[in-house]
Amino acid sequence: MKISYHGHSIVKIQVNGYTILIDPFIKGNQLTDLKVEDQKPDVILLTHGHNDHVGDTVEIAIAADALVVAPYELANYLSWQGVKTHPMHIGGSYVFDFGKVKLTQAFHGSSYTTEDNEIIYTGMPSGILFFAEGKTIFHAGDTALFSDMKLIGERHPIDVAFLPIGDNFTMGPEDAACAAAFLKPKMVVPVHYNTFPLIVQDPHNFAEIVSTTEVIVMNPGDELEV
């Protein structure tokens, strides 16, 4: 399984002959190395409906005929835009050809703002557990620290956890370090930082305060093999 990071909260997974994109916010993301027109994923996984996570999902999914897996209300909204979707909800899991997906809780908001400044409610935000080839990947989405992260880690031993560290809208570095201790993954990758002025953080400082697991600071385009 190959995993790459592409700025903000974008993660790409290549496994079993499939390419999976998580939260593909590309246009307007000056930190990403990706171009929308180059993306041909088989699957897009979404954590919640905010514009900096849904991003370019509709354009990419329609062009690539990709399946979008998302929380129920967000999946419904995207289906009205002509996207092929699979709706899920927190606590539910489903085994796809490319792997198993399970949604976890996340403490955040979830809405999509249209070009006409209409705010569309898109259900509950979530984290994503992805299982394939005997590995477990956890993308926490946007979230505050919560104690049930301990339960997530106990129930599903995690190989790589992507945790937001930007503060202001999500966990900051200190809370994310506590989350790493709760989850006990083999590796942690910090995400959701430095994209906007309000979430500027030094990921290397975060790495220094995490004592429970290995922290890998990934630049856009960097790749891991797990």
**2-219: CATH architecture:** 4-Layer Sandwich (3.60)
pTM: 0.97
Q: What is the mean pLDDT of residues 101-108?
A: 98
CB 221 within 8 A of CB 6: yes
pLDDT tens digits for 205-216? 999 999 999 999
For position 33, what pLDDT does the model report?
Answer: 98
Residue 18: which pLDDT band, with cuts at 50, 70 and 90?
Answer: very high
183: Cβ contacts below 8 Å, ≥ 6 apart: 138, 149, 150, 152, 153, 158, 161
Give 67: exposed, middle or buried? Use CB within 10 Å, 0-12, 13-18, 19+: buried
Residue spans per domain, the chain: 2-219
* Mean pLDDT, rounded, of the chain: 98
pLDDT tens digits for 32-49? 999 999 999 999 999 999
CB 45 within 8 A of CB 88: no
